[in-house]
Amino acid sequence: MELSDCSNEYEKLVVRMNMPRVVIDNGVCPNSTVVKIDSARSPGILLESVQLLTDMNLWIRKAYISSDGKWNMDVFHVSDLYGNKLTDENLIRYIEKSIETSHYTKSESYTGLTALELTGTDRVGLLSEVFAVLADLSCDVVEAKAWTHNGRIALMIYVKDRNSGTPLDGDRVQHIEGQLRNLLRADDGYQNDTWTCVSYGGNTHMERRLHQRMFMDRDYEKKFDYETSPIVSVQNLPKRGYSVVNLQCKDRMKLLFDVVCTLTDMAYIVFHAAIRTVGETAFLEFYVRHCDGNPVNSEPERQRLIQCLQAAVERRTVKGVRLELCTADRPGLLAEVTRILRENGSNIARAEISTKDGIAKNVFYVTDANGNLIDPEIIESIREKIGINDLSVKEQFPISCREEIEKEQQQEPQNHQGQNGGGTVLVSLGSLVMRNLYQLGLIKSYF
């Protein structure tokens, strides 16, 4: 065997040794499936695992995360949307293969599409105007997501030419950019400018990109309502060289993804963490360092981290009615539907647009113009105009926890159940993560 062949074989061996190893067990926990992942420590590896699980619509109810030396050991307790264990063997094998090979891809393909990224000042009816412009310019929207937060809006839209089904050419892209920039131009003196970007195809994760766009747009700077905002604290442990980040808020789908995504984008590395839910409340604790190896070292940095984590949770939290549209796709459908919503005084706080095999499946979270719950009579009027059979009203978070989960939650310490005295709850969790990680064998006793 030649020297070059030996080198190639050694490189392959190193790669195989560093591949994540996954164990999925339905017997450990009575009410959730346990996914244990052992992997070599590398930048972003935790986010990749959490992203994969949440993209499969799995609810992470509990997690223990530890980094010991150069190796990560992460344990996730997951269930489906309705609180059930994972019983589909094909799904279990797919999760194992996807994590172990790092070749997970979502079912959607963005090849041959033009991606539009937009941020700007939000206002009632803005999304309707954006889709109207795209319809007038003969663009079909294949996939889109829109978030609003603190008076700002971020959109990511994948489009193609209506006639040819191909990506847009350079001249049309410039024309569309100019039209959309005018719509999104700030008119309230907000310090950040409208921003647009065009790319072609790619494997961009839309929700992570929206977090990044909102973060770069500094949507976290507006003052929060401290009575309803997530409770976040950041404390330093000088002897151990960590900053301890505690977060308490209402539990929901993709909560862990939103938090880990923000920590990653802010260049913080998670070394240890414990996540659990008590009733409808989630408690998250992270031991972190900045990528330069230091803990949070100033009060401005601490306040910025708190604000960014609060914003990360609130971006996806919408106090509105969830409307689901499922109908045959046609040119101008989005422009028509969003126009009807606008003309009836409703505001789209969040949107998820998808078109596949000629069927449009769209989700809109709507409020009134002031951000309050919309009148049910107005909702019925909108449904009549769009189509009673096509547009339905859904619960915002369709999950039904089973009796076993409720019993487990009732056994938790009573001081976890109150919303008042949140600071006490956060401080009391300081030893929880270390105790659980030690019992699981995920950290050494000297820690």
Q: What's the CATH code of the domain at 343? A: 3.30.70.260
> How would residue 17 be classed by pLDDT, with cut points 50, 70 and 90?
low
Q: Is the domain of 229 the same as that of 290?
A: yes
pLDDT digits (tens, 9 = 90+) for 410-427: 444 444 333 333 443 444
Q: Is the domain of 302 the same as that of 423?
A: yes
**Is the pLDDT assigned to residue 397 strictly greater than 50?**
no
The number of folded domains in the chain is 2
Q: Is the domain of 135 the same as that of 95?
A: no
Helix (H) or strand (E) holding 385: helix 376-386
Q: Is the domain of 285 the same as that of 147?
A: no
| Adjacent-strand bridge partners of 233 | 246
> How would residue 155 be classed by pLDDT, with cut points 50, 70 and 90?
very high
Give the number of other CB atoms < 10 A from CB of residue 275.
24
pLDDT score for 402: 41
Q: What is the pTM assigned to this prediction?
A: 0.82
Both tokens assigned to 283 = 């408690």
> Hey, what amino acid is at 145?
K
**Is the pLDDT assigned to residue 318 strictly greater than 80?**
no
**Is the pLDDT assigned to residue 4 strictly greater than 80?**
no
Q: Is the domain of 305 the same as that of 329?
A: no
Specify if 215 maps to a domain.
no
**Is the pLDDT assigned to residue 13 strictly greater than 50?**
no
Q: Strand order of the sheet with strand 346-356?
A: 195-200, 114-121, 152-161, 139-149, 346-356, 359-368, 321-328, 391-394
pLDDT score for 12: 46
pLDDT over 70, % of the chain: 77
CB 122 within 8 A of CB 369: no
> How would residue 222 be classed by pLDDT, with cut points 50, 70 and 90?
confident
pLDDT score for 5: 52
pLDDT score for 401: 42
Q: Is the domain of 323 the same as that of 310?
A: no
Task: Give the residue-averaged pLDDT of 7-34.
Answer: 72
pLDDT score for 413: 42
Specify if 11 maps to a domain.
no
> How would residue 173 be classed by pLDDT, with cut points 50, 70 and 90?
confident
pLDDT digits (tens, 9 = 90+) for 83-113: 899 999 999 999 988 887 754 444 455 778 8
> Hey, what amino acid is at 103?
H
By the 10 Å C-beta count (0-12 exposed, 13-18 middle, 19+ buried), 114 is classed as buried
Specify if 403 maps to a domain.
no
Give the number of other CB atoms < 10 A from CB of residue 89.
8
Specify if 446 maps to a domain.
no
- Between 31-40, 59-68, 437-446, the lowest mean confidence (pLDDT) is in 437-446
Q: Is the domain of 255 the same as that of 282?
A: yes
Q: Which residues of 64-81 are buried (b: 16+ CB within 10 A; e: fewer)?
A: bbbbbeeebbbbbbbbbe
Both tokens assigned to 390 = 């096509």
Specify if 72 maps to a domain.
yes
Could you tell me the residue range of the domain that residue 424 belongs to? 19-105+224-316+408-439
Q: Is the domain of 298 the same as that of 431?
A: yes
Give the number of other CB atoms < 10 A from CB of residue 319.
12
pLDDT score for 14: 44
Q: Is the domain of 154 the same as that of 169?
A: yes
| Adjacent-strand bridge partners of 198 | 116
Task: Give the residue-averaged pLDDT of 340-361.
Answer: 94
Q: Is the domain of 425 the same as that of 300?
A: yes
Q: Is the domain of 120 the same as that of 197?
A: yes
CB 5 within 8 A of CB 22: no
Specify if 274 maps to a domain.
yes
Domain-terminating residue out of 372, 394, 416: 394
Specify if 428 maps to a domain.
yes
Specify if 214 maps to a domain.
no
Q: Report the alpha-carbon distance of residue 299 to residue 305 in Å, rounded.
A: 10
Winning range, highest mean pLDDT, from 186-195, 253-262, 386-395, 425-434: 253-262
> Hey, what amino acid is at 147?
W
Q: Is the domain of 121 the same as that of 255?
A: no
> Hey, what amino acid is at 345?
G
pLDDT score for 126: 93
Q: Report the alpha-carbon distance of residue 233 to residue 422 in Å, rounded.
A: 10
**Is the pLDDT assigned to residue 444 strictly greater than 80?**
no
Q: Strand order of the sheet with strand 33-40?
A: 21-25, 33-40, 71-79, 59-68, 268-278, 281-290, 242-250, 231-237
